[in-house]
Amino acid sequence: MAAASAVASSSSSPALEPHPDLSPGLSSSSVASSSSSSSRDEGARGVSCEGGGGDDVFDLDAPWVAAAEAESRLEEAAMAAAAARVGLCCAEEKGKGEEEEEDEIRDNRQRQEDELMALEAIYGDDLAVFGKKGGLHYFEIYIHYDLNDGAEVCAKLSSANEKNPKDGRCCDGIEGHGDEPDEFSYTCNFEYLPPLVLTCLLPLSYPSKDPPYFTVTVKWMDGPNVSQLCKMLDTIWAELPGQEVVYQWVESLRNSSRSYLWFDGKITLGPDTPMQKGDNRAISRSLSLESVIPSMLSYSSKKRYQAFLEDLHMCMICLSQSKGSNFIWLPCQHLFCVKCLGTLCRMHVKEGSVFQLVCPDTKCNASIPPYVLKRLLTEDEFERWDRLTLEKALDSMSDVVYCPRCVIGCLEDEDNNARCPKCSFFFCSFCKEPCHPRRQCLTPEEKFQRRQASGRMSEREVAQEILNIKALYNDVRLCPKCRMAISKTAGCNKMVCGNCGQFFCFRCGKAIKGYDHFSECKLFAPRDISAWERQMEEQYGNHVRLSLRPVGGTIRCPKCREKNFKDDEKYIFCWACRANYCTMCRREVQDKRGHFGSPECVGLEDF
């Protein structure tokens, strides 16, 4: 991944903006951005779904070609060369016949067409043939710089106007570098550099007498370096007069042009100096580095994305290979095919576990961003995800509670009370009962005792309430992360929250990651049953066993063990000791009215 690492970054330094004439349509990024933020931006651009194709190669390279300027200079060169050869041609024509001249032109044309055909076969899409201009062959060849290991570009900027005269430092806090005190530099890393463009116009006298008219366009390179490349091409023609040289030119530019730029393992550009008259065939950087470098960064990023779309990648979920256009490139730089990641996202949205919508990589926990979910989910699924995310975010807020009557979110005050904006119910946020200032909330046992004393609970409701309280004390814990109540029905003490995916110990309630925690907490520890739970288990079991015996059967007295006739499900009357006993608590009952299932019967008075 290419990332911009700004040596001279500063919040006060001006942002580097691309010139509109240089790179229309290319988004600029501040050269002073860090490498991590650059990676995040690239990851955001690298999301593709089915059918993604990316920009065309020549559309991406077009801002760097300067075709109009190259064409204009070639026409000037052709006109100057034609004027210079007028007198020479007139002298030569006296000694050469008209037929011989046509044969030479015909031979040159054939050699030019053969050369163009060979170039097209060799360079493919890098050769753009534009037909003829004024009866002469005209074409452009792109030479791309694809740097697998990346290239470090050191750009030297001038800060004469930003220098602090008191301490000799720049206003943005960057120390000066280089020979001049008003210069500083920053460094960027690139995987792709904008192309070098060789534009040629083949005269009728090529290759027998004259070389091609050419321009070398490198819109990001300094002028002296481009002029040296033009001189290198002149040298090759001087060594191979009368031969086709375009192939040798292209190969020399591909292999040797970097040597004019690479010094000590990096490319050095700048500093910006007043334009000096150089080789007219050299089209170099005409704008400041502050305008050019952001466009170079954008070009490298888009080329990397284009290469991603065209390459084959393996999905680490289904282990199948496909083109990048069928993959999702997450901001964390992990790749997964659209089908697998879409299935995973739909599953979590359906189950409501939206907090588990993270990168599927086992060593990564980065969240899947909303713009990726919008591509993968249907409109209804995305709306459900949006709603669930809001609800769970509210649930995780400590000052948001829900009205027990109409389930509307409310804000609690400093006294842990809240008022519902819909039904105006004023309630305690802890117990969800009506507000009770300066009094503690009722425990589940006390609530059960009150309901039992009111006489509005049936026997079935009493038994069910006992089971509910037992389950509350024994099988429910709150998730330490999202505070969701979770019940354990079986298994070990390592629990996972179905809401947020947090692992925690059911025994002590602490958040954990692996099994190291259970060296202190037992993984399969026996349940710690309280005295109240043990009593409830015994009494409820007795009641169930006795209720299963049919009326008319015999039951032994719990005191004297004599057999008695069963004529009631709630009480036993012993004929031997002449006493009444409750079938639930097995105690002697003097007054049978309202005892069965009362707080005294179930043992709540002792707690």
| pLDDT at residue number 216 | 93
**78 assigned to some structural domain:** yes
| One domain, residues 123 and 237 | yes
Q: Is residue 292 within 8 Å of 219, Cβ to Cβ?
A: yes
**392 assigned to some structural domain:** yes
**33 assigned to some structural domain:** no
| pLDDT at residue number 164 | 42
Residue 238's alpha-carbon distances to 68, 81, 138, 232, 235, in angstroms, are: 28, 17, 22, 10, 5
- CATH classification at residue 342: 3.30.40.10
Residue 241's alpha-carbon distances to 105, 111, 244, in angstroms, are: 17, 14, 8
| pLDDT at residue number 86 | 59
Span 504-528, average pLDDT: 78
C-alpha–C-alpha distance, residues 285 and 218, integer Å? 7
| One domain, residues 344 and 385 | yes
| One domain, residues 215 and 133 | yes
- CATH classification at residue 278: 3.10.110.10
- Give the angle subtended at the CA of 273 by the CAs of 145 and 188, to the nearest 5°: 35
What pLDDT band is residue 545 in, cutting at 50, 70 and 90? low
Say if residue 55's pLDDT is above 60: no
The model's pTM is 0.55
| One domain, residues 220 and 124 | yes
| pLDDT at residue number 507 | 81
Q: Higher-confidence residue: 164 or 324?
A: 324
| One domain, residues 222 and 366 | no
Residue pLDDT, tens place only, 209-266: 889 999 999 988 888 888 889 999 999 999 998 899 999 999 999 888 777 766 666 7
How do the residues of the chain divide into helix, strand and coil, expressed in percent and rounded to 5?
40, 20, 40
**Ordered DSSP codes for 441-468:** PPPHHHHHHHHHHTT---HHHHHHHHHH
Q: According to the 3-state scheme, what is the secondary structure of 497-508?
A: CCCCCCEEECCC
Residue pLDDT, tens place only, 263-293: 666 788 878 776 667 788 999 888 888 888 8
Task: Give the DSSP H or E segment for 33.
Answer: none
Q: Which two tokens stand for residue 193?
A: 């550099």
| One domain, residues 319 and 371 | yes
3-state SS class at 318: coil
**In terms of residue numbers, what domain contains 493?**
444-519
**530 assigned to some structural domain:** no
| One domain, residues 241 and 386 | no
What pLDDT band is residue 538 in, cutting at 50, 70 and 90? low
| One domain, residues 455 and 318 | no
**Closest residue by Cα to residue 197 from 249, 150, 122:** 249
**127 assigned to some structural domain:** yes
3-state SS class at 117: helix
Q: Which two tokens stand for residue 362?
A: 């086992």
C-alpha–C-alpha distance, residues 412 and 416, integer Å? 5
C-alpha–C-alpha distance, residues 332 and 352, integer Å? 24
C-alpha–C-alpha distance, residues 324 and 305, integer Å? 9
Least confident of 331-340, 356-365, 434-443: 434-443
**Cis amide linkage into residue 207, ω under 30° from 0:** yes
**454 assigned to some structural domain:** yes
Q: Higher-confidence residue: 146 or 372?
A: 372
| pLDDT at residue number 246 | 93
C-alpha–C-alpha distance, residues 603 and 536, integer Å? 8
- Say which residues have a Cβ less than 8 Å from residue 234's Cβ, sequence separation at least 6: 211
Say if residue 550's pLDDT is above 90: no
| One domain, residues 131 and 272 | yes
| One domain, residues 458 and 590 | no
| pLDDT at residue number 336 | 92
| One domain, residues 120 and 202 | yes
**213 assigned to some structural domain:** yes
Instruction: Calculate the average pLDDT of the chain.
Output: 74
Say if residue 140's pLDDT is above 70: yes
| pLDDT at residue number 376 | 92
**88 assigned to some structural domain:** yes
Least confident of 82-96, 214-228, 377-391: 82-96
What pLDDT band is residue 43 in, cutting at 50, 70 and 90? very low
Span 158-172, average pLDDT: 43
For the chain, what is the domain count?
4
Among residues 498, 519, 540, the one where a domain terminates is 519
| One domain, residues 206 and 263 | yes
